[in-house]
Structure 1
Amino acid sequence: MKLFELNLEQSKLMMIQFSPKTADPKIHGHGSDFQLSIPLIGTPFIQINNQDRKFQERWWCITSPDEKHYHYSNEAGSRLLLINLKKSFLERVLAERLERTVERLEFSPWVEGSAEGFKKMVTRMMKHTLDSSLHLEELQEFEYELASLLFSHTRGTHSKDWRMEASYNDHPSLRKAMDYIHDDFSNELDLDTLSNASGISKYYLIRLFREYVGQTPSQYIADYRLRHAEQLLRKTSCEVTDIAFEVGFGSLNTFERLFKKKYGMTASEFRKSV
């Protein structure tokens, strides 16, 4: 039984509940997708190419595009997190990172180690989709982060070249992106614009922000806009709606939601408190 399903441009997220002694409807593949199978509750099983295997503690697996498989449970039942990622997308992310064409992409099918990063990302995405709609840039960032996490936590043809490097001070491209945001935050900003301004790929830009700023580009932009809104609330008598649009938010609802999340109160309440 599907408890949750979300289809994005380059990925698909599913949470599946297996009752005792139940299985996928049939043996199947996923076309051009890699699929991550991550146990959440119980001890599920998987059959891949006619070979059965039980998920041991702290183990999860990756099935390759069109690799025939199915999941099933024992007497206790189980729950799985399934994450599909398009092969072409992963190849593009890797090519951008390595700055060269990827001739072959393969992963070791079994991974030993924590999958908490994936679980937290999907939980966060589930919560966002239930609470509010997400902007295209936020969805793109999520999928790039998902791909980065996959490459960082697995072994395969990518392992040798997948390295973190350099320091914040050695990244003029990151500085260019941040300067662009500071100069143009009141206008519409997206990943393509920042990528062009900084001269690096969207994936690399997201990774640099995550590694050295501690936020994604969209999170940094929103935070920067909120700081300016705070000053306007303190120093002017402008209407809250006018301030929201002046600092670059596309809707009052988005501004109010993010402002309350950051400051613990609405913008009107904040103005009265200062």
Structure 2
Amino acid sequence: MKLNIKYRTSLPLNVFRWSPMPYRQPLHTHSSLEIGCCIQGEGTFYFGEKQYPVRQGDVFIVNPVEPHIAESNPHRPSVYLFVNFDPDLLRKENPHLLLPFSYRPALFHNRLPGEADIAVRIRSLMEKLFEEWTHRNNGYETMAKCLLFELCVELARHYSGATSMHDWKQMTGELNRLSPALEWIADHYAETVSLSEVASVLGVRPATAARLFHQSTGRSWRSHLTEHRLREAKRLLTETELAVADIGFQSGFQSLPTFYRLFQTHVGVSPLEYRSTFLHNNRIGTF
């Protein structure tokens, strides 16, 4: 089962607390990268055929392709801090930060034990990030992004020492191969974009381009394009007084019904509700 992750702000990031059910639910995937830290209780975390006992302080790394789900101990329910975010945030800053999330599931150990120094540092950063995201003081998005980058630098340094040069080259090679298409979409998302054009940028057939996107990012090329367009629409809704219809077209959507449908599906509210909520929260100083 693939979940559709919604980002409620222009920054494609979610930070939240979550307690799993005391029984095993179906495994799921999502296009977001994810980091979870158990802050209370016990349980089990499942990744495909792998399973890990969970203790307080344990940190878990999740990439877009490995099915996963957490389960609480019925007598000592677990509570997690979770951060999930669009991989483009790291790709634009420094593609090497994607290393911890580019693992091959069968060979990767998803759990960082709570007593390890790296897990202690990760938990501290996640708690600071949660505080920023919860209180939303002036500049919270900038601070949240800085904390996320620091967190991912810690993870990248930790995993680079545990990754063979062969695997490192293969992982970064896949990202480098796709980079021209990612950059092209970032520059042209507001235009009419086709898979054939994306494939032409990469110098491959359309079917190959589609496969490369899914293998490297865990989502389709069209989902990647839609995320860029929605991000621009959210920015225009909060930073300009343009009519919603004009925003839809300026963001690259070819029809208003498509814009409204995708915005509602991915963001969870309509464009007008999103703008209204922003204005209300900004007036009372909570956004």
TM over 0.5: no
Question: Which is higher, the Rg of structure 1 or of structure 2?
Answer: 1
More strand by share: 1
TM-score when normalising by structure 1: 0.45
Question: Which is bigger in relative contact order (C-alpha 8 A, separation at least 6)?
Answer: 2
More helix by share: 2
